[in-house]
Amino acid sequence: MNTRVTDLLGIRVPVIQGAMARIADGKLAGAVSAAGGLGIIACGGAPLAWIEEQVRIAREIAGDAPIGANVMLMDPQAPQVAELLTKLRVDVVTTGAGSPANFMAAWKEAGIKVVPVVASSALAARMERMGADAVVAEGCEAGGHIGELTTMALVPSVCDAVRIPVIAAGGIADGRGMAAAFALGAEGVQVGTRFLTVEECCIADAYKERVLKAKDSDTVVTGRGSGHPVRGLKNKWARAMRKLECDAAANSDELEGMYAGSLRRAVEGDVDGGSMMAGQSAALVHERKTAARAIADLLADAEVRGGMNLQQLACANAQRTGRAACVVEGKE
Ligand SMILES: Cc1cc2nc3c(=O)[nH]c(=O)nc-3n(C[C@H](O)[C@H](O)[C@H](O)COP(=O)(O)O)c2cc1C
């Protein structure tokens, strides 16, 4: 399949595995890239030596296929991570939670494609002016840190605001979601929750089981009060967190104490005391699969159950912006 996203990133299928802090390592990213998508190593909160090692592992698995890494810009060590990724010359950097302005020039000079994750059309337009190659428009159905807008409202609004390609994220776990994203104007999708249960994903089995069993109403948002909302599965930890957030007497130290190490605990299998980040699309994830199978099924399913020719939609989306040729069956 050929869209402006596949052309830009040098990948075979327009499916990006979203960064997942403490989870998306070189093994997962490498498997996704080897399968034709783009695997992203999550660098948020990770030691520099770990990042370097994961890039090595991902490259070993992916061979010549490109690999990406994600920088959480609110991370105090973001400047060091940005410098390391420039040195390692990863193919793509995605950014979240802030402005990549300080790093853009160095990344561009190193030939790295820069793809910020945005939650509003205003931020998308700002990123385009700053030189971003594409944006990920992530709706609040997603797992992890979220904005306010839904994917359904955000994606077309971002598509109207920028000329660079738009990748949709949030709530996409099967072909129907992918087809819908393309119908909204996207030329690629970023998927997180679907990859939590693939064989190559490192989270504990107990966490995977909770994702597989989740229903559509089984996620909850914590952290709204602090301005850093996070979506995850309902469990003891999330209920206690919500209770504390509603308690007018609770102070920020108590809240921070609850957050500290909570994702790590979930990743290691503490499904009661950890923060099991996952999106609403967990309700659509019923099987374990390999990363390659998940990607192949997503694409096949988009055309069968989604009832749409993704290639034609992608070309229409690119042409509507009046700036890119897209080849269908040999014709421009
Ligand atoms: C467990 C988890 C951790 C995440 N961590 C990050 C992160 O470190 N950086 C980031 O930019 N996005 C992060 N995300 C968001 C994903 O990259 C992706 O955009 C999102 O999961 C897509 O929506 P979906 O969950 O509905 O598939 C995380 C998502 C999950 C589920």
Count of beta carbons in the 10 Å neighbourhood of residue 129:
9
Apex 314 CA angle, 313 and 319, nearest 5: 95
Which residue's CA is the closest to the ligand 1 atom numbered 12? 19
Residues 137 and 166 grouped into a single domain: yes
**Given this model, what pLDDT does residue 254 score?**
78
User: Residue 96: CB within 6 Å of ligand 1?
Assistant: yes
Same domain, 65 and 50: yes
What is the pLDDT, as a whole number, of residue 332? 42
Closest listed residue to residue 81, CA positions, set 70, 92, 97? 70
Q: Are residues 210 and 227 in the same domain?
A: yes
Q: Is 139 in the pocket of ligand 1 (CB under 6 A)?
A: no
- Please report whether residue 231 resides in a domain: yes
Tokens of 181: 């994203």
Is the CB–ligand 1 distance for residue 38 below 6 Å?
no
20 C-beta closer than 6 A to ligand 1: yes
User: pLDDT by residue (tens digit) across 186-228?
Assistant: 999 999 999 999 999 999 999 999 999 999 999 999 998 888 8
pLDDT for res 329: 44
Residues 146 and 215 in one domain: no
Q: Is 147 in the pocket of ligand 1 (CB under 6 A)?
A: no
273 within a domain of the structure (yes/no): yes
Q: Angle at Cα 172 formed by Cα 5 and Cα 164, nearest 5°?
A: 25
Which among 262, 280, 282, 281 is positioned nearest to 272, based on CA atoms? 262
- The answer to whether residues 257 and 298 belong to one domain is no
What pLDDT does 330 receive? 44
Q: Among candidates 129, 158, 127, 170, which has minimal Cα distance to 16?
A: 170
Among residues 12, 277, 255, the alpha carbon closest in space to that of 143 is found at 277
Nearest CA to ligand 1 atom 5: 20
Q: How far apart are CA 61 and CA 29, in angstroms?
A: 9
Instruction: List C-alpha distances in Å: 170 to 87, 146, 324.
Output: 31, 9, 26
Q: 156 and 67 in one domain?
A: yes
Condensed to tens digits (0 to 9), the pLDDT of residues 84-138 reads 999 999 999 999 988 899 999 999 999 999 999 999 999 999 999 999 999 999 9
**Protein residue closest via CA to atom 4 of ligand 1:** 20
pLDDT for position 327: 46
Q: Quick check: 319 and 19 in contact, CB under 8 A?
A: no
Instruction: Let me know whether 209 and 247 are in one domain.
Output: yes
Q: How far is the CA of 26 from the centre of ligand 1 (A)?
A: 16
pLDDT value for 323: 53
Tell me, yes or no, whether 179 and 262 share the same domain.
Answer: no
pLDDT of the residue at 328: 44
Distance set, CA 207 to CA 52, 203, 231, 244 (Å): 27, 7, 15, 24
CATH (domain of 13) = 3.20.20.70
Q: Is the CB of 143 under 6 A from ligand 1?
A: yes
Residue 325 lies in a domain: no
* Contact 72 CB / ligand 1 (< 6 Å): yes
Question: Looking at the domain assignment, is residue 332 inside a domain?
Answer: no
* Of the candidates 3, 99, 36, the residue with the CA atom closest to the CA atom of residue 290: 36
Same domain? 264 vs 311: no
Please, is 145 exposed, middle or buried when counting C-beta atoms within 10 Å of its C-beta (0-12, 13-18, 19+)?
buried
142 close to ligand 1 (CB < 6 Angstrom): yes
Q: What total of structural domains would you count in the chain?
A: 2
129 vs 125: CA distance, rounded Å: 6
Q: Using the mean position of ligand 1's atoms as its centre, give its distance from the Cα of residue 254 in Å.
A: 25
Strands 144-145 vs 166-169: parallel, antiparallel or unpaired? unpaired
Residues 62 and 182 in one domain: yes
Distance between Cα 68 and ligand 1 center (Å): 14
Q: Whose alpha carbon is nearest atom 2 of ligand 1?
A: 20
Determine, yes or no, domain membership for 88.
Answer: yes
Domain containing 133: what range?
4-200+290-320
Beta carbons within 10 angstroms of residue 74's beta carbon: 12
Statement to judge: residues 143 and 217 lie in one domain? no
Instruction: Tell me how far the alpha carbon of residue 144 lies from the centroid of ligand 1, in angstroms.
Output: 5
Digitized pLDDT (tens) for each residue of the chain, 332 residues in all: 889 999 999 999 999 999 999 999 999 999 999 999 999 999 998 999 999 999 999 999 999 999 999 999 999 999 999 999 999 999 999 999 888 999 999 999 999 999 999 999 999 999 999 999 999 999 999 999 999 999 999 999 999 999 999 999 999 999 999 999 999 999 999 999 999 999 999 999 999 999 999 999 999 999 988 888 999 999 999 999 999 888 866 777 778 888 889 999 999 999 999 999 999 999 999 999 999 999 999 999 888 876 778 888 888 888 777 655 454 444 44
In a domain, 79, yes or no: yes
Largest CA distance in the chain: 66
Asked if residue 265 and residue 143 are part of one domain, the reply reads no
Q: Is 122 inside a domain boundary?
A: yes
Helices 78-88/101-109 angle, 10° precision: 10
Element at 263 (helix H, strand E): helix 262-267
Instruction: Tell me how far CA of residue 63 lies from CA of 17, 84, 94, in angstroms.
Output: 17, 21, 21
Whole-number pLDDT of residue 306:
67
Residue 329 lies in a domain: no
Cα(329) to ligand 1 centroid in Å equals: 35
